[in-house]
Amino acid sequence: MLTYISYRLLQMIPLLFVISVIVFVIIQLPPGDFLTTYVEQLRLSGSDVDASTIIQLKAQYGLDLPLYGQYWVWIKNIILHGDLGMSIQWNLPVSEVIGDRLLLTLLISVISLILIWIIAIPIGIYSATHQYSWLDYAFSFVGFIGLAIPGFLIALLLVYFVFNLTGLSVTGLFSPEYEGAPWSWGKLLDLLPHMIVPVIIVGLSGTAALIRITRGMMLDELSKQYVITARAKGVSERRLLFKYPVRLAIHPLVSTIGWTIPALISGEAIISIVLNLPTTGPILLKALMVQDMYLAGSFLLILSVLTVFGTLLSDILLAVVDPRIRFGGTRS
């Protein structure tokens, strides 16, 4: 297994290089740049911006370099210094802009993923083993509702009804006294109850989808010949269920870890805007709209790195779940 992991890590080097080039080119595709738009807005408002100031600003943010030069400076600083560049919009290092926001986003996404697995897998197994029971129909109905209704719409309805019924606001992740305050035990304890609503809403559609996937995979496994034979030989239902069908049915669940967390991180943007959450979603959306290339590019690169390493983690977990899987001929 160590040989396989080392081989995959070496493969990631050219892969991440190609991804970084693609990300940088994509964020440069729209015409113009943030600085040009900003200068035009100043001129339209009546403010005069002289040519020397524009030249100085372009040199400060590296916009006077050709495209390949801008990429080289960006990627070199990331590799050698861990510097993601300067956000033109915020006039701050990208790491400062997204630091706490990325931490909060990862926290919400990971907790949502754990909640999805804890709820969806047992329900999916129960629905498959009790097919066409009233609970199976009930779970299927709830699953379809969760898939059909967008998360941001559920967030809007929740905010509306809670405020009208109780007068309380469920937006934000901190109480007013802790917003902008440095991290402390008090701020952490204040964060926990505020995370309940975002975690439930972000995880709702994922839970519904996973219930359907688990149920379908379990029904497929339970209809196979080895299960029928084991039952005929008198193997207990519980032992039979968890010995093979459950382990095989969760293959698709484990194999999707690579893109599940990035999808949760990037997919909560609209929910974050509705709930006024200080996460990366709104920042990424605004950075793309105003062409803040280093901020948008760094965030997209982080998502790509999470996807690549998540895929490696999926492969390793698949081998643990199913010993029949071998790593390209290597022995674990």
Where do the structural domains in the chain lie, given as residue ranges?
Answer: 2-93, 95-321
Residue 86 host element (H or E): strand 86-87
Residues 30-71 have pLDDT tens digits of 776 777 777 776 676 767 667 777 787 777 777 778 888 888
**Which runs of consecutive H residues, i.e. helices, occur in 167-224?**
185-194, 196-222
204 residue type, one letter: L
Helix, strand, coil shares of the chain, percent, nearest 5, are: 75, 0, 20
Residue 305 host element (H or E): helix 293-321
Model pTM score: 0.78
Residues 241 and 243: their CA atoms lie apart, in Å, by 6
Quote the Cα angle for 220-226-232, to 5°. 115
Residues 214-258 have pLDDT tens digits of 888 888 888 888 888 888 888 887 888 877 788 777 777 777 776
What distances in angstroms separate CA 189 from CA 25, 109, 194, 200, 281, one per listed residue? 42, 18, 9, 18, 23
Topology annotation, domain 95-321:
MetI-like fold (1.10.3720)
Answer yes or no: is pLDDT of 329 > 60.
Answer: no
What tokens appear for 34 in the block?
């943030």
Lowest mean pLDDT of 3-7, 109-113, 115-119, 175-179, name the range.
Answer: 3-7
What tokens appear for 235 in the block?
């193997």
Residues 262 and 306: their CA atoms lie apart, in Å, by 7
Answer yes or no: is pLDDT of 261 > 70.
Answer: no
Looking at per-residue pLDDT, the higher value among 259 and 328 belongs to 259
Residue 327 pLDDT: 56
Q: What are phi and psi of 181, to 5 degrees?
A: -80, 155
Query: What value does the mean pLDDT of the chain take?
Result: 81
Residues 186-205 have pLDDT tens digits of 888 888 888 888 888 888 87
> Predicted confidence band at 325 (pLDDT cuts at 50, 70, 90)?
low
Percent residues over pLDDT 90 in the chain: 2
